[in-house]
Amino acid sequence: MMENSGNDVILGNENMPFINLLIQHFGFAAEYYGITHTSLPNYIALTSGSNWWSHNDSTKQVFDHTCIADKLEEKGLGWKNYAQSIPYAGYKGSSSYPQNSSFVWLQEHVPFLFYPQIFQDPVRAANIPPLEELEQDLYSCNVPEYVFISPDICHDMHGGSDVCPAVTEYPNTPKKLAYCYNTKNTSKNCVNINNLWKKGDEFLREWIPKIVNSPSWTGNSVIIVTWDEANYNEELNVFTEGGPDTAYIYSTNFSFADHSFLIDGYYGGGKVPLIVISRENPYHIVTYGKYNHYNLLKTIEASYGLDYLGYTSDDRQVKVLHEFFGK
């Protein structure tokens, strides 16, 4: 799962040559969308079938709902959420790590740390290890059936730390190259978005070959690459935290039964790439059906014969991404 970049900035971007190469040679869903803003609800939707009325990244949230890990274990199947820069498996000691301005790991990008049946159980929490463990598992053929990879913020195109990449001042940087944590875009705390894009591209260039060249790449193995949400605001021509105009997203809400509902603002997560690299069907296929994270979750559930979670149980609106698998 990559971060905060939509089709508008990815397709044809010279800072993402490897990603564009994947789009040109493998499966690509041209009309694929995130669920909402901000990041965390998209991760939860992709692993439990609903965002459960959440539209924020607060790490105080607990999602006491059945998730795909539960269903996999019921079938005797394994899973892991490999997390780059997590200090140790199952770490939930803070919302970021290190706990200073040089943080590179964010809890909100590691979805299985938000399900109490997992994070409260040390045995199950051990399935959320540092990313380095993936390389060991790949070459010892100990990769579980389901893998969720969470790059750190220096490599998923999120940024926000003073170590990834170097800070540059706005407005000296052209608007298209600035990622500003301020909807009015007057802040000087902006980073060069080109470097974030390059880091993300390099991460995928490193890890996808590691996977496909390993002895674990057998049978019907599939790599799926997508982004949580699109944060590109065409009208302002800038990149704003939390999607197009964060202030507007949270402008008006009301509460009912302890749930917060937005009655105006921006609901959708925006159009993002979905790239499918299938070992059995490694072809360039482009689909223009309208899909989102629920379709992806349903596709994974169907492939393992799992019960459908949340909105994925809707057979009329939520279809399986069959185009990429020769069916």
CA distance 126 to 129: 6
Q: What is the pLDDT along the chain (327 residues), one digit of tens a residue?
A: 999 899 988 999 999 999 999 999 999 999 999 988 889 999 999 999 999 988 888 898 999 999 999 999 999 999 999 999 999 999 999 999 999 888 999 999 999 999 999 999 999 999 999 999 999 999 999 999 999 999 999 999 988 887 876 444 333 434 444 444 333 344 444 456 788 889 999 999 999 999 999 999 999 999 999 999 987 443 343 444 444 333 333 333 444 445 554 433 445 788 899 999 999 999 999 999 999 999 999 999 999 999 999 999 999 999 999 999 875
CA distances from 218 to 80, 140, 145, 232 (A): 18, 13, 11, 37
Q: At 251, list the tokens.
A: 């402008």
- Find out whether 305 and 74 touch, Cβ atoms under 8 Å: no
CA distance 107 to 60: 10
Domain ranges for the chain, please list them. 7-325
> What SS3 class is residue 121?
coil
How much is the pTM?
A: 0.86
The CATH number of the structural domain formed by 7-325 is 3.40.720
Q: What is the 3-state secondary structure (H, E, C) of 286-325?
A: EECCCEEHHHHHHHHHHHHCCCCCHHHHCCCCCCCCHHHH
List all residues 6 or more positions away from 327 whose beta carbon is below 8 Å from its beta carbon: none
